[in-house]
Amino acid sequence: MGVRIRVRYAPSPTGHLHIGGARTALFNWLFARQSGGQMVLRIEDTDRSREVAGAEGKMVDALRWLGLDWDEGPDIGGKFGPYRSMERLDLYRSLVNRLLEDERAYPCYCTPEELEAEREEMRRRGVMPRYSGRCRHLTAAERRRFAAEGRPFTVRFRVPEGQTVSFDDLVHGTVSFETNGIGDFVIVKSDGIPTYNFAVAVDDHLMQISHVIRGEEHLSNTAIQLLVYDALGFAPPRFAHVPLILNESGKKLSKRDESVVQFVEQYRDLGYVPEAVVNYLALLGWSPVGEREFLSLEELVQEFSLDRVGKSGAVFDPVKMRWLNAHYMRGRSDEELLKLCLPHLVAAGLLADPPSAEDLEWAGRAVGLYRDQLEYAAQLPELVGWLKSLPDPDPEGERILEDPSARRAADAFYQEVSALSEWTPDGIHAAFKRVQKTTGLRGRQLFMPIRVAVTGRTHGPELPKVLDLLGREVVLGRLREYAGRSRTVPREN
């Protein structure tokens, strides 16, 4: 009988859900769902100093927005709970006591100042800083004396000397670490709370996790955790360390890099669609068979495999992310797009809050007009802002308007559209045709001056549709404004 697949995603509630964490959650979820296994959500909340109020709830919301779910977790329970580290302190404590009794761990009474002085001296000598082991050989009498003095202490794991810790990583192959380079590490802090590397090893064993899929930055942690597994007599899970996410310069993506949108909540608030975010995250470090780039969540489940996860870093490309999202947005109905875009139009002051029926009709037409240019919903106010307020043209637009033929085109077009019986795209198109005949102006000479004079822009959707959305009075008013600036005021009909 094969191994029962159980994976976990175990974030710390220290902020918003980062794209790196979301990718880790996605890879675990895909692996579990493809194999018919189980996904566990566990909250690693032992770092109380960095915990952010409300972060856990926001992370859960972001994961659900992506379309991910789990079979056990703090919100739904399960037979291996509790699922928050701070609710499992008694479990950790009993195992720490076992290690102390077996002399696989010991109390360390070194002060922070003493430890920092040690590290500084090692750095001065050009040695990689690690704990020297000064409390490793304290006698029982010395420990009793320190305890009687009430001296605070941590608990350190006694790392065996001269050994090699090796494991077969499902992405990187055989990975080895020498124990002489690790140093005795802390498993319980002075406040009695276990450290990450101890708690995670205990939890993964007690929750029967079969596979740990996480970021490559945890490779060295795996060596430490394997020592804990061995000391407690636990069989370790299989490990798969996925590649780092890099910036466009090939360096590890820093959360302080504001040139890249890095948090799932931000993508949601910008009006991205979850299918696109999931699709893109899946392609960061993993590749499907063939050249496919658009894969639904269901297709990802069918195709995902750890043997197609790469070893080298995955470069995050914001342009490709927007391109993928634009593809998925074009697959949405006008009604769905309108729902995505409305909050952004309201926030930009382009619609009332709440929008009137007239606002909604206008917004629906604006969405329909720009749907093929939208990369994400928050972009729409920028694309349609000129509909409400005419911007100044750029230098290219100014040059177009200063050409003598531009004034002639605007004058003739004004005369034609002011006399239209019905204001429709077809009627406006016919007006352009008549201007072509009367003026001899064609192509850019005719259309560009009208576009710039009325929209302030040199590019955009089909001009008759744009003018139809603007409305007759606005179009005529902007043409009069241009004519006034050019000192050739069109004659009213």
| Strand pairing class (186-188; 211-215) | unpaired
> Tell me, what amino acid is at 13?
P
Cα(156)–Cα(159) distance, integer angstroms = 9
DSSP 12: -
CA gap 39, 42 in Å, rounded: 10
Which tokens is 135 given?
Answer: 């409390």
Locate 289 and state its tokens. 């068979």
State the Cα–Cα distance between residues 199 and 47, nearest whole angstrom.
11
* Segment (H or E) for 167: strand 164-169
Decide if 159 contacts 182 (C-beta within 8 A): yes
Among candidate residues 88, 138, 7, 236, the one with its CA nearest the CA of residue 96: 88
| DSSP-assigned beta bridge partners for residue 164 | 178
Here the tokens at position 297 are 């969540």
Radius of gyration of the CA atoms of the chain, in A: 32
Handedness of CA 328, 291, 28, 44 (dihedral sign): negative
Distance CA 377, CA 161 (A): 58
Q: Do residues 23 and 55 touch, judged by C-beta distance below 8 A? A: no
Q: Which long-range contacts (CB under 8 A, 24 or more apart) does 95-102 make?
A: 95/202, 95/232, 96/155, 96/187, 96/188, 96/194, 96/198, 98/232, 99/155, 99/157, 99/187, 99/231, 99/232, 100/155, 102/231
Q: Residues 251, 252, 255, 311: which is the catalytic one?
A: 255
Q: Is 255 tagged catalytic? A: yes
Among 37, 30, 40, residue whose Cα is nearest residue 66 = 30
DSSP string, 365-414: HHHHHHTTT-SSGGGHHHHHGGGTSPPPP-HHHHHHHHSHHHHHHHHHHH
How far is Cα 151 from Cα 358, in angstroms, rounded to an integer?
73
Interacting residues of 398 by C-beta distance below 8 A, sequence separation 6+:
none
Residue with tokens 């102390």: 100
- Residue 22: Cβ within 10 Å count: 26
Half-sphere exposure of 31 (CA within 13 A, CB side): 31
Cα gap 75→281, rounded to integer Å: 25
* DSSP result, 228-287: HHHHHTPPP-EEEEEPPEE-TTSSBPPTT-TTS--BHHHHHHTT--HHHHHHHHHTSSB-
Catalytic residues: 255
